[in-house]
Amino acid sequence: MHENIKDKIGKIDILPWSQNFATGIAEVDEQHKRLVMLVNRLANALAYGGEFEDLESVFKELASYAVYHFVSEERVWSSVLADDVCADEHRKTHERFVTEVQDIRRNVAQMPPRQAFQKILTFLTRWLAFHILDDDKKIARVIEEIRSGRSKDEAKRLVRDEMNETTHVLLDTLLAMYDSLAGRTLQLIQEATERAKAEHQAQVLLQRNRLLMQSTPEGIHILDENGRIIEANEGFCRHLGYTPEEVLQLTVFDIESLVPPDEIRANLQRLLGGRHALFEGRHRRKDGTLVDVELIVSGAEIDGKSCFFVLSRDITEKKKSQAIFNDLAFYDALTNLPNRRLLSDRLEQSIAASKRQGRYGALLFLDLDNFKPLNDVHGHAIGDLLLVEVAGRLRGCVRETDTVARFGGDEFIVLLAGLATGFETSAEQARLIAEKIAAAIAEPYRLVPDMPSGRVDQAAIEHRCTVSIGAVLFSNDDHSADDLIREADLAMYGAKKAGRNAIRFHVQERRQAQA
């Protein structure tokens, strides 16, 4: 009897394969489809109450998949990203898959078949979503960009910026929806199979899904193909401050204040036919206030008409946290100067700009002279006060378009962008700034240590120091960011050997040697 219901309802694809999962590498995608087929096969057995496969045969199939797929996939990645940390991290995800499958195999040995297969299905669905949507698609995009002519670092940075944030939010939301919907959907189909009433089952699905839509705290609304709101849950109405009746009089153009109408129409058009995407927007509430939101929009079809299912999330607090995270990730905690990571990004941008504009840039590598004795005599707290003061003086010596970064310890880097088009003029400009920096650093310091409340017994410390500076100019050449930092560092050591408190230009020395 359950076969008739299956004919009416159709085969269950709990994890449907679509272009959203495709990496663009045929060999890898074909193997992913094999695991997707196993997931959907298990889902159908659970849904329609069919005979369950032998548990051991499923684990053998998983072992066969892991050995063949992981080796072939790693061969593809290593052909372009050999010895790269990206490929190494990916290998570790494969090792974790094997370990977790072995743990599940031990845990489900004594479980009833339905419970065991439900556990395997949940694990495979979540792992496959993360494996393809996050790890594999990122690496595939990196390889695509490298093959298009980008350097490995450029490709990785581009893909990181393009995918990291949106991918994680999409996975979190989709898997949260899967946790709340997938298991219940399977259960409802099983109930319908047992009663042999497909028509009644469809009504139950509709009613319960509508109840779920209304009970979830996330904002959910449905748009018709013209962007008019045709259904919304209580969470969405609460989010905007409208009554359910008022919401149904609105369109997406009435509530969205960040994205222009033409762009909204173009985005919706691209999602027709079942595609989905993540966007950021800014909703205008009934009282006129604005709130930043994340939107997962999926194209769908209801009663033969195109529509869009939209899940919205308030990200006000997330944006605040992200700003704090960016400060921690890209700025030195002591001096609030850009750190190495941000410096590297800005240096690569400056190199590219110099090539486009035909103007020189310069990199100054600074190391404070005799900094260690100050720390040894007065302690690291006093040394930190000096570093903070030095950072402030460096900022005062350069333009807003230049970058001052703390490289580590008592080492700083100053990046000068957009100098002259001629070498000699640019070198002179860089030298004048370096001399200005050296003079500013050499001015006396008065370092006042922080004291516990009520104590004033420690006097300010008077201190003088100098700086050794190594400089390198760059323009339309093939030197990488690491090359330039290394050359400026070597020039700085030349200044140290010359007696400290000196400036040395690596570019000039190389230029003279070539002459």
Q: Which residues are catalytic?
A: 410
Helices (H), 24-131: 26-48, 55-81, 85-107, 113-130
Is the separation of the CB atoms in 404 and 346 below 8 Å?
A: no
Which amino acid is residue 278, in one-letter code? Answer: L
The Cα–Cα gap between 22 and 24 comes to 6
Give 251's DSSP letter. Answer: B
Q: 3-state DSSP: the chain helix, strand, coil percent, rounded to 5?
A: 60, 15, 25
The Cα–Cα gap between 53 and 43 comes to 12
Q: Is 460 helix (H, G, I), strand (E, B) or coil?
A: coil
The Cα–Cα gap between 37 and 51 comes to 17
The tokens for 156 are: 């990785």
Other C-beta atoms lying within 10 Å of the C-beta of residue 61: 15
Nearest to 403 by CA among 336, 329, 483, 343: 343
Counted residue by residue, the chain has a size of 515
Give 503's DSSP letter. Answer: E
The tokens for 81 are: 């990203």
The tokens for 356 are: 């486009």
The Cα–Cα gap between 497 and 84 comes to 36
Q: What are the C-alpha distances in Å from 131 to residues 61, 140, 181, 183? A: 18, 12, 21, 21
